Structure 1
């Protein structure tokens, strides 16, 4: 394992301490940087203030930073699905509090990456996008229509024939053509919008399996496109959920006897993949994952659930023990396999279930998956070297997820806001720090529920929402991209989402 370069000096030590919670003050014991008890500043007090000193250290750190203009050998692209800025902030606090340290000043793995930019996420035809259009922009360099994958905006959404001839090559096509290894990991179905953007071309993101295609269609479903993706020598690593889309309806799921595959055409795509990759390894559960040979040069196909993988909070609470790997474990295994390629690799890692929990108005699960996503980033940083590996962390879009005031420093992020002169509600009922502008947590044509006696930190609690909708919606505000490694300094300012592709392509010399 090659240790990634770290910030040096006092500020670097502070970042490292905060990131691993090794030398942070416990909750209730003060912040990482504690403000003076007396707010009155006297002569010389500025220089003695720890925030001032930390600011000076941060300046020195930035002045000492040297841009890395080398060509990147490797790229790891992390996409936190639905991870808008409010999710980053709430997730940081949640992760810090879970480690029993000060949440607001906690430094996550992605916080410690030195470069960042603001990213505009609108799609070709909508102000608020979906994951298909945004992921396509990120991996092809072209903004396209909402709901389509890997095809240009000239496509007619849902019209199979209209997409032919409009296929866009992805960063993964280019990487394979350059001789690099490639991999995709997701906690969602591997045929879902974000991971599918790397290999699929479809006038509808919903065509994950043959039965989803329009009657009489001559197009290929997304699952079969994955198995048939033959650019270069194909993906070396594929791990995620969604195995029902690869198995025939007549075949029982290998883990759940009461569930069957979804393919109507009778094809067993897993068997086809194995036949095409005799040295490859297929795994369905934790036992199979642990049995993977890290030294093997053959490809890996891991399909850990019939549909999406479990939420991280549920994965850890399964009766009988954990039966599928964490995102960090998959990332570590993928890097070990991909690093064997002397020309380098390109890997996408999606934290897909952050988005799903938000759609359900369920902040607890969203933040637990955010924490797992950050742990995967930390694992990747530890396993690579910033001298040759570009690490990018971004989101495809945001959510209508809010953080309301005014609570004391380090108040439980899932808790209720204490009553005070500026937090009095017109209806006299308490409210939570976290909420949604719309979603299933709203009550239609009824007064707002009184949550005085409700445990809002419970895993299944749905935060209250303003507008009742069956599912909470995406948000349209900008997201953030963070970067470290060769030519990471190019990720700065405010950029269009499709520019990410062009910067990454340049960094890799493609």
Structure 2
């Protein structure tokens, strides 16, 4: 069999794609769909707003994630369509911060949620700021709460981490999760979270350790064991104080595992605090006992939306798929793509539980990673495969190739057992780490633009290339959160 015949034999189940008529019909259908979407722009008022942030979700991640998800369904993968792919309006956002070409999550999430760019490490403040000079910038969550809307924050990282904290906190150092290490005069992130308890109806994620003291004996982990926190001094159990603040009212609940979350009745629950891990939640591929008792991101989003949507004035919800970023930093590519899959499923849940008529959904990333997807491989190449002598040249130092790689990271010079045959065995595991071009202990963020997806009221404004701050402006405009709301025609009409 000739080489070109082998190439086509790999895609026999897609023989229909070899005809001109197939592609003609596909492109014509796409055009009709696009004409319909753009001829009927949704200019309604956004009663509800959901912002999804895939932490570290670069365009390489969304593309590789699409193929990964498709292959799990038995397809080649490239032709698969994700929930994000189906959003009608798409643009890109510049991610640089005020002081760095390559940003962090604090600066980028602050830009998305406040409309103001700041410096790396800073949350909810201008760059030239400290804890006493009143340089806080208002977030879209805080604006929504002022208007009587319900609000929520859902994440797979700790609830005090940079991205979720950017919805409610104002602090010059993102790592001041608790009073331990916080500079004198600064209120730590967990304390700020507690102080906002009446304005945030749903809080779901990790971060239990920052919510109670080292000497507490009444806080249990997801397995029912006593755990210690990192807060110092008396009356530092913020979990117990959260419970006490709402009294014995059964409509206000604290949960710490999947079973307890499943038992929550949205129709009778007004306030819900769920802390499912001491710090970050587990990767979905980790398959540890702890991961089995933690809810998934789609499950948390479902519960949050069902609770928040009871408010006749509407709601604002921030959702972070935070473990995409954590996996990329470790160059655990399969972990990152599984987290992307969970993120996409969570977006699908939100779409199913809301209506495009009154709910603006924006899905984007805070920043990307130096992650690449592609190589000279055939259609449908698995993420468990490495290149061999039969289908790919080896480089001069004998290292293997795969369809993913990182610009920097820990797997720069793999040990001998990973070379040749060993590379294939290692690639078949979930812990597979692709090669990196530059040696570093951990992989870094990228400085690239990120994709912004949008659906619902005013979603057509998400198009072209903009600063990340533009996202906050679109949200304020669509949901009538700004000071000029009374001057806008769509704001004078009920959603």
Q: What's the TM-score, normalizing by structure 1?
A: 0.87
Whether 2:196 is the aligned partner of 1:224: answer: no
Map Cα deviations across residues 367-398 of structure 1 (whole Å, 9 max, x no partner): 11111111111111111111111111100000
Map Cα deviations across residues 246-272 of structure 1 (whole Å, 9 max, x no partner): 010012551264741111133100111
Instruction: Output the CA distance in 1 between the equivalents of 2:103 and 2:212.
Output: 31
Alignment of 1:257-276 (within 5 A): 257=225, 259-266=227-234, 267-276=236-245
Q: For the structure 1 residues 319 and 269, does the alpha-carbon distance in structure 2 shift closer, same or farther, using more than 3 Å as the test?
A: closer
**Partners of 1:30 and 1:102 within 8 A in 2:** no
Map Cα deviations across residues 215-273 of structure 1 (whole Å, 9 max, x no partner): xx01110001000016xx41110000010000100125512647411111331001111
The CA deviation at 1:175 is: 0.3
Instruction: Output the CA distance in 1 between the equivalents of 2:254 and 2:290.
Output: 23
**Partners of 1:414 and 1:433 within 8 A in 2:** no
Select the residue among 304, 310, 313 that pairs with 1:334.
Answer: 304
Alignment of 1:422-433 (within 5 A): 423-433=393-403
SS at match of 2:53: strand
1:18 match? none
Q: How many pairs are equivalent?
A: 461
The CA deviation at 1:293 is: 1.6
Alignment of 1:29-428 (within 5 A): 30-31=13-14, 34-36=16-18, 46=20, 48=21, 50-65=22-37, 66-155=40-129, 160-161=130-131, 164-214=133-183, 217-229=184-196, 233-251=198-216, 254-255=220-221, 257=225, 259-266=227-234, 267-278=236-247, 279=249, 280-314=252-286, 317-319=287-289, 322-419=292-389, 423-428=393-398
**Partners of 1:129 and 1:146 within 8 A in 2:** yes
Instruction: Output the CA distance in 2 between the equivalents of 1:342 and 1:281.
Output: 21
2:431 match? 460
Map Cα deviations across residues 171-218 of structure 1 (whole Å, 9 max, x no partner): 00100111111000000000000000011010100100101213xx01
**Partners of 2:284 and 2:291 within 8 A in 1:** no
The CA deviation at 1:414 is: 3.9
Instruction: Output the CA distance in 2 between the equivalents of 1:85 and 1:385.
Output: 27
Instruction: Output the CA distance in 2 between the equivalents of 1:80 and 1:319.
Output: 25
The CA deviation at 1:443 is: 2.7
SS at match of 1:475: coil
**Partners of 1:138 and 1:497 within 8 A in 2:** yes
The CA deviation at 1:319 is: 3.9
Select the residue among 469, 477, 492 that pairs with 1:506.
Answer: 477
Map Cα deviations across residues 68-97 of structure 1 (whole Å, 9 max, x no partner): 011111111100000000000111111111
**Partners of 1:117 and 1:492 within 8 A in 2:** yes
SS at match of 1:350: strand
Q: For the structure 1 residues 321 and 365, does the alpha-carbon distance in structure 2 shift closer, same or farther, using more than 3 Å as the test?
A: closer
Instruction: Output the CA distance in 1 between the equivalents of 2:233 and 2:380.
Output: 55
2:492 match? none
**Partners of 2:283 and 2:291 within 8 A in 1:** no
Instruction: Output the CA distance in 2 between the equivalents of 1:321 and 1:210.
Output: 28
The CA deviation at 1:34 is: 4.0
Instruction: Output the CA distance in 1 between the equivalents of 2:68 and 2:268.
Output: 38
In the alignment, structure 1 segments of 5+ residues that lack a partner are: 1-26, 37-44
The CA deviation at 1:339 is: 0.6
Instruction: Output the CA distance in 2 between the equivalents of 1:300 and 1:359.
Output: 31
Map Cα deviations across residues 455-499 of structure 1 (whole Å, 9 max, x no partner): 213112222211111111001111000011011000000010011
Map Cα deviations across residues 81-124 of structure 1 (whole Å, 9 max, x no partner): 00000000111111111111231110001111110001110001
Instruction: Output the CA distance in 2 between the equivalents of 1:319 and 1:421.
Output: 40
Instruction: Output the CA distance in 2 between the equivalents of 1:477 and 1:113.
Output: 21
SS at match of 1:68: coil
Relative to its length, the structure with more helix (as a share) is 2
Q: For the structure 1 residues 56 and 452, does the alpha-carbon distance in structure 2 shift closer, same or farther, using more than 3 Å as the test?
A: same
Alignment of 1:426-505 (within 5 A): 426-443=396-413, 450-454=419-423, 455=425, 456-505=427-476
SS at match of 1:312: coil
**Partners of 1:82 and 1:397 within 8 A in 2:** yes
The CA deviation at 1:295 is: 1.2
